[in-house]
């Protein structure tokens, strides 16, 4: 199956693409919290005008002091006035800085809440097949790299660009009035440094973009060395030194890459600082020389010296802000790429909408997309499916019919396609070819929500939720069961786990798992809870994939002794290697190489003396050897 993943624009994005990402990020931020954005923008505007205002105030203050010393004006009120205005402007700048930081932190929190929720909600809508694709895993990792921080930094740096631009403009006007040569120096110094910083920004992004798979490897090694699920085996196999060395090798590679790019940043920034300082001070020397000749006042010299230093710093900060904001748009593009992935459900909805429009145009009624009553009838017609990057199909032309309420077992060697088959029936993957019908309706035409409500699934790798015992069961139908202790206990008694739960430290309120609680279960006990969770779902189709693999023979017998009653009225698909369980089915399907090669009851298949009989006899031989 070829997954359609949008290609990221990456560091080769054009300027127009970057500006489009910037526009989108600004729109998202505005929609998230416009009042905070407006407040930050206003404070940024105020802050940007402070340097020029202070420069003018200092000029007037110095001139007033000079006049007082020279005796041309002995009124101290003018000096006190300009001191008071300077203090007021300084206080405004100080308070606005703290207010700006406060609003920016609040905006970051709002963006973090909104964007993280958006990523999780979108991930929840995507097909299972995406999560099994390496390209998608890399894309998801890039998306999750401090997404809210990227937005906050983009907003902050974009506003700094505006503020810096206003500061440079106001300062440049003041300085140009005193020394026009400053304008030429400003452009000669700024443009090469801007291009240099932009190339560095793209290099940093390219480095992070390309190392994302290796970053996932480092997380993998950390998890294997610290997770309770792995630590025992890792210790017994003495894998810790090996995995630690693999982790260390990757981190050294990252360190060396960082050292190279940080060295370029240091050398380029230092060179810019030297050139800019020399160029600006040459113009300052010219101003001082003109003051000696009487062409400029002491106040002019004072304002030029202070404003010149502020302009140089503002120029450097603004260039950094421009390139940082553009760099963040590259990371923001990763989020847009992720959100552009369309789940199969959206394609189905578009298809249904087009069909309904066509039907209305032809005067026909819309085809029903939700059956009025679920019976659990399943039909497959020439279904073929191939996993991403697989060399050959896992399912190849599978056709079968399962009647409502029928219990069908599926057996076969590992890799025969059993689990893939039931996952397609459950709607977790769309088939590449062929049709899957649920109650005589193509599942591609069914609402995903409706289809999932009709299916209860005990996975081979079942969930072990960090939650109370009651919630672990209620999750099977959480909209209805959460908080309904009576119904939860009824389900627990039905599948014979009530006594197990009652023996736990806090009964049904016992927190399960080691991450947040102190009580965990054996594999078989977890599996019993998973089975209870499946039966808590009022579903027409029950799928059990190796439901007793962690249970001993006695526990298996207890569960399936009342299996008929538990599954009454439900269509049941059962995958198992235990033939004592399989033989209870109404019909048994035997799979090999992605096809159904035999079908019938236990007695019929044994009489055929085919593949099923071979598997059954091997199973009995193993049991006899154990005895």
Task: Check residue 365 and give its pLDDT.
Answer: 47
Statement: residue 299 has pLDDT above 80:
no
Q: Per CATH, which fold does 15-187+271-340 belong to?
A: ABC transporter transmembrane region fold (1.20.1560)
Within 8 A by CB and 6+ apart from 241, the residues are none
pLDDT band at 581; cut points 50, 70, 90: confident
Least confident stretch, 49-58, 261-270, 428-437: 49-58
Per-residue pLDDT, averaged over 231-249, amounts to 91
Task: Check residue 561 and give its pLDDT.
Answer: 63
Within 8 A by CB and 6+ apart from 509, the residues are 468, 469, 470
CA quadruple 125, 129, 130, 132: dihedral positive or negative?
A: positive
pLDDT digits (tens, 9 = 90+) for 489-508: 999 998 889 999 999 999 99
Statement: residue 355 has pLDDT above 70:
no
Task: Check residue 217 and give its pLDDT.
Answer: 94
**CATH architecture assigned to 374-454+539-627:** 3-Layer(aba) Sandwich (3.40)
Instruction: Please return the burial class of 497, using the count of CB atoms within 10 Å of its CB with bins 0-12, 13-18 and 19+.
Output: buried
Per-residue pLDDT, averaged over 56-73, amounts to 79
Q: 365 in the Ramachandran plot: left (φ > 0), alpha (ψ -120 to 50) or beta?
A: beta
Task: Check residue 370 and give its pLDDT.
Answer: 46
Per-residue pLDDT, averaged over 302-312, amounts to 83
pLDDT digits (tens, 9 = 90+) for 268-284: 989 998 998 899 889 88
Domain boundaries of the chain, sorted by first residue: 15-187+271-340, 374-454+539-627, 464-537
Statement: residue 335 has pLDDT above 60:
yes
Q: Is residue 384 within 8 Å of 431, Cβ to Cβ?
A: yes
Q: What is the average pLDDT score of the chain? A: 85
Statement: residue 626 has pLDDT above 70:
no
Task: Check residue 354 and give its pLDDT.
Answer: 46
- CA–CA distance, 236 with 239 (Å, rounded to integer): 8
Per-residue CA distances from 409 to 141, 256, 592 (Å)? 39, 56, 14
- With CA atoms as reference, report the closest residue to 424 among 404, 442, 407, 403: 442
The neighbour count for residue 463, using CB atoms within 10 Å, is 13
- CA–CA distance, 422 with 233 (Å, rounded to integer): 32
- CA–CA distance, 103 with 152 (Å, rounded to integer): 11
Task: Check residue 617 and give its pLDDT.
Answer: 86
- CA–CA distance, 187 with 532 (Å, rounded to integer): 73
Alpha helices in 431-537 (DSSP H): 448-453, 469-474, 478-481, 485-494, 498-502, 523-535
3-class secondary-structure state, position 539 = coil
CA quadruple 290, 296, 299, 305: dihedral positive or negative?
A: negative
Statement: residue 44 has pLDDT above 90:
no
- With CA atoms as reference, report the closest residue to 421 among 543, 535, 542: 543
Statement: residue 87 has pLDDT above 70:
yes
pLDDT digits (tens, 9 = 90+) for 166-224: 888 888 888 888 889 888 988 888 899 999 988 898 889 889 889 999 999 999 999 99
> Which contiguous run of DSSP H or E holds residue 273?
helix 240-292
- CA–CA distance, 25 with 22 (Å, rounded to integer): 5
Task: Check residue 436 and give its pLDDT.
Answer: 93
Statement: residue 371 has pLDDT above 60:
no
pLDDT digits (tens, 9 = 90+) for 410-468: 998 888 999 999 989 988 888 999 999 999 888 888 877 788 888 888 888 888 899 99
Task: Check residue 590 and give its pLDDT.
Answer: 94
pLDDT band at 259; cut points 50, 70, 90: very high
pLDDT band at 4; cut points 50, 70, 90: low
Per-residue pLDDT, averaged over 579-599, amounts to 89
pLDDT band at 403; cut points 50, 70, 90: very high
User: Is 464-537 in the same CATH topology as 374-454+539-627?
Assistant: yes
Domain 464-537 has CATH 3.20.20.140: no
- With CA atoms as reference, report the closest residue to 16 among 319, 326, 302: 326
Q: 397 in the Ramachandran plot: left (φ > 0), alpha (ψ -120 to 50) or beta?
A: left
């Amino acid at each position: 199956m070829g997954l359609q993943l949008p290609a990221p624009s990456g560091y080769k994005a054009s300027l127009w693409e970057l500006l489009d990402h910037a526009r989108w990020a600004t729109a998202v931020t505005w929609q998230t919290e416009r009042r905070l954005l407006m407040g930050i923008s206003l404070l940024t505007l105020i802050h940007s005008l402070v340097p020029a205002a202070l420069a003018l105030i200092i000029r007037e203050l110095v001139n007033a002091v000079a006049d007082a010393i020279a005796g041309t004006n002995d009124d101290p009120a003018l000096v006190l006035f300009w001191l008071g205005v300077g203090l007021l402007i300084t206080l405004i700048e100080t308070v606005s800085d703290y207010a700006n930081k406060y609003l920016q932190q609040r905006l970051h929190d709002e963006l973090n809440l909104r964007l993280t929720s958006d990523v999780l909600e979108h991930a929840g809508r995507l097909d299972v097949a995406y999560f099994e694709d390496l390209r998608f895993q890399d894309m998801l990792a890039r998306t999750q790299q401090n997404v809210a921080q990227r937005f906050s930094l983009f907003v902050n740096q974009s506003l700094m660009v505006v503020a810096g631009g206003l500061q440079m403009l106001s300062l440049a006007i003041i300085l140009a009035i005193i020394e026009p040569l400053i304008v030429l120096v400003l452009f000669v110094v700024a443009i090469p440094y801007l291009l240099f910083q932009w190339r560095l920004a793209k290099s940093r992004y390219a480095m992070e973009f390309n190392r994302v798979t290796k970053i996932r490897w480092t997380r993998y090694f950390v998890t294997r060395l610290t997770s309770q699920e792995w630590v025992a085996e890792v210790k017994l196999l003495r894998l810790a030194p090996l995995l630690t060395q693999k982790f260390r090798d990757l981190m050294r590679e990252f360190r060396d890459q960082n050292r190279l790019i940080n060295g370029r940043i240091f050398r380029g920034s230092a060179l810019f600082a030297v050139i800019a300082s020399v160029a600006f001070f040459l113009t300052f020397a010219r101003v001082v020389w003109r003051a000696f000749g009487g062409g400029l006042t002491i106040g002019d010299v004072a304002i030029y010296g202070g404003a010149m230093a502020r302009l140089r710093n503002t120029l450097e900060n603004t260039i950094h802000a421009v390139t940082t904001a553009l760099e963040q748009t590259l990371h923001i593009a990763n989020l847009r790429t992720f959100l552009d992935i369309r789940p199969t459900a959206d394609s189905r909805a578009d298809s249904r909408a087009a069909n309904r429009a066509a039907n209305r145009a032809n005067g026909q009624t819309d085809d029903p997309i939700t059956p009025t009553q679920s019976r659990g009838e399943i039909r497959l017609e020439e279904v073929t499916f191939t996993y991403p990057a697989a060399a050959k199909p896992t399912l190849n032309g599978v056709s079968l019919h399962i009647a409502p309420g029928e219990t069908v077992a599926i057996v076969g060697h590992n890799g025969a396609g059993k689990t893939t088959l039931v996952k397609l029936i459950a709607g977790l993957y769309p088939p590449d070819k062929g049709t899957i019908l649920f109650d005589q309706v193509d599942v591609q035409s069914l609402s995903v929500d409706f289809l999932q409500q009709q299916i209860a699934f005990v996975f081979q790798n079942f969930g072990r939720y960090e939650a109370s015992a009651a919630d672990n069961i209620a999750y099977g139908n959480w909209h209805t069961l959460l908080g309904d202790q009576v119904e939860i206990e009824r389900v627990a008694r039905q599948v014979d786990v009530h006594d197990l739960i009652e023996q736990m430290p806090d009964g049904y309120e016992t927190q399960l798992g080691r991450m947040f609680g102190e009580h965990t279960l054996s594999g078989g006990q977890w599996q019993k809870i998973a089975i209870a969770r499946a039966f808590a779902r009022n579903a027409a189709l029950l799928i059990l994939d190796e439901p007793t693999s962690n249970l001993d023979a006695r526990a298996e017998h207890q569960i399936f002794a009342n299996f008929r009653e538990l599954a009454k009225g439900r269509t049941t698909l059962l995958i198992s290697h235990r033939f004592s369980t399989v033989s209870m089915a109404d019909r048994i399907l035997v799979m090999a190489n992605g096809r159904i090669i035999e079908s019938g009851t236990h007695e019929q298949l044994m009489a055929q003396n085919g593949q099923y009989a071979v598997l059954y006899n091997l199973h009995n031989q193993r049991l006899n050897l154990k005895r």
